[in-house]
Structure 1
Amino acid sequence: MRIEKMLSLSEEIKCLHGNQGKYGKIFPGYITHIRFPRYKNIVDGTRIDFTFPITALVGSNGSGKTSILNALYGAPARKSTGKYWFSTKVDPIEEGEGSPSRFIYGHYNPTLRSIVETRKARVRKVRGGRPDPNYWEPTKESPGDGMIEPSLQSGKMYVGRSKDRWNPVSRDVLYINFRKELSAFDKYFYFGKSPSPKPSAVKSKQDSRKYVSRRISSKKDQVRRDAELLARVIESGDTSYLYQSRKVATENRLLTQEELDMVGFVLGRIYEEARWIRHRLFKGDGGLSVVFKTQHGRYSEAFAGSGEIAVTSCVVQVLKAAKGTLILLDEPEVSLHPGVSVFSWARRVNNLYPLACVNRSSNRMAN
């Protein structure tokens, strides 16, 4: 699918608007709203309605945008908000007696043919023989939180209903935090530990009685040395290249045409090809390198903009996700320039994914 054949965003958004009221059928497990009786620093009783499959949370620092994404991540079955929000000695989670941290969300039930609500709360539980104070689980309906016990026909089976509660929705969640979408080069060069500046002596491979000067004494030396190995991996075209009897790369492939087109579509650029490599170079394990090729030449992530790597990683993850996956994007503006709008994802959202995004600046949503 080439870029010129893609539908315009205005047509995509118009189509999505035309399906309002049907999202529960288009996206099984679609979350219609979420309420916060007691949750982090969010004002008690706050409610957010998701009237469109793409939602942008806009606000100042500390207003609770990421906290809302954390709640949405933990909403489905077998997901827990405790993965991102947990108590420590420095930042304890303080709760009133009988008033745990909790949120409530709505979703369409096909048997009842109406919106029902599921409540998830933070509870203390023993898991694997160890106490876990940060476990979140569904609870029974709570009239004190404005939940109404449904009038159900006796003896009738209702899909998604347990004895005293509606079960959480079953769906996959993809949480992409752009603050960690860094290339292997960036992680090492800007955040990694520098080699010892003092030359050290190591035994010569040719003669164990002799010592030679260690030539890696700076990050630049390390990058140059690992770039040689990376070049050999690129030349191999697969993961067969070994260094010191170990595979250097776990992934080594060209982006598919669909992936390449989407990256170019989001960034407004034309790429002839891009090679995706997961490897253990630059003092890492599972680090990402991408080698881009345009009509002007070829370059790696060391000379690419950070936004190119972040978008490429995001696109690959999104296109790999199962249909109906809830996609959460946390602060994409960290890596993307103002001209790149999150609504670029509308092309895929129409048939596949609902999406929520955290954004600090309202100006970035003007597109």
Structure 2
Amino acid sequence: MAGTGSGGRAADGQTLRWGIVATGRIAHRVTRDLARLEGAELYAVSSRSEGSARAFAEEHGFAASYHDNPSGSGYQQLFEDPRVDVVYVATPHAQHFEVVRAALEAGKHVLCEKPFTINASEARELVQLAGERSLFLMEAVWTRFLPATRRALEIIRSGGIGTVRWVQADLGFPAAYDPADRLWDPAAGGGALLDLAVYPLTWAVAALGFPAGLRAQGHLNQDGVDVQNTLALEYPEGAAAQLTSSLQSAGPGTATISGTAGWIRTGSPLYNPRKLEICGQDGTIRVEEFHEEAEGFIHELRETARCIRAGLQESPLMPWAETVQMMGLLDQAREQLGLHYANDARAVTT
């Protein structure tokens, strides 16, 4: 249940000053949508590099930039700035726990890029800390907030395709091997599972709920990073989901939700579909299209701002319990795949 908090500035209608942690590709994309958000001020950015921080600030119009130096990390300096109200964390996965914890300890509201953490233990710890500090915290699974996703769920929950019995979803692309790239770097939480499988899982869980069982198959490369995986989700009374994510091969990148009275298929890519195909019991297929001025991140940003202004600690659309439970599913899959990261050692000792 979402709570009420007193941390940070959160008055109705008040401008929220945003800080951005990290300056990679996803940070640029999200910031372009943030610039369109009503009541948002692009205030500060941090990076390990002074050049990256200043270039990002100049490109997007931030008032302040911070970088690593002898006095401390760039993100810690950003968190110490009392003018920052809320931060968006766009670092590689393995750094999420450390950075989000520091932000919460400094009294900042947080929107953290997916996957929320490396494992469920880290996720539980951050949720507990946010609760103790009366701060807003949310995983940035932008797909959950998109108009197409919300419309698909509306159809499903209204019985428009009957009882859902089967979900199939895939996401993959052939990524050139580069051990220095975060996709392939085990120290950064690399691999197809944590980077891509969140999206097929999002559609399966939205349509069928969390499964009673999970079976994972896949292949690890010489660095111990998964290059491809298949997840089979098992539900009572035989409902099922088959999900694939890959850094080796391209696929249609769609989700199909099949029910006893019809089906829904998303456009591609399933993480940001602009259309839905809906087939009713009579076999007639209709198409619903969704047009966006912005790229699509604005919906999760708007929800973040709405919740902060309302004094909520968690979003009813992306509650903490579901984030922790999703990380638990990924933990199960990793255990079956033999996929382990350095962060797991900390979880064992705490």
TM-score range, shorter chain: under 0.3
- Which structure's residues are more often helix, by fraction? 2
What TM-score does the superposition give when structure 1 sets the normalisation length?
0.27
Q: Which of the pair has more CA radius of gyration? A: 1
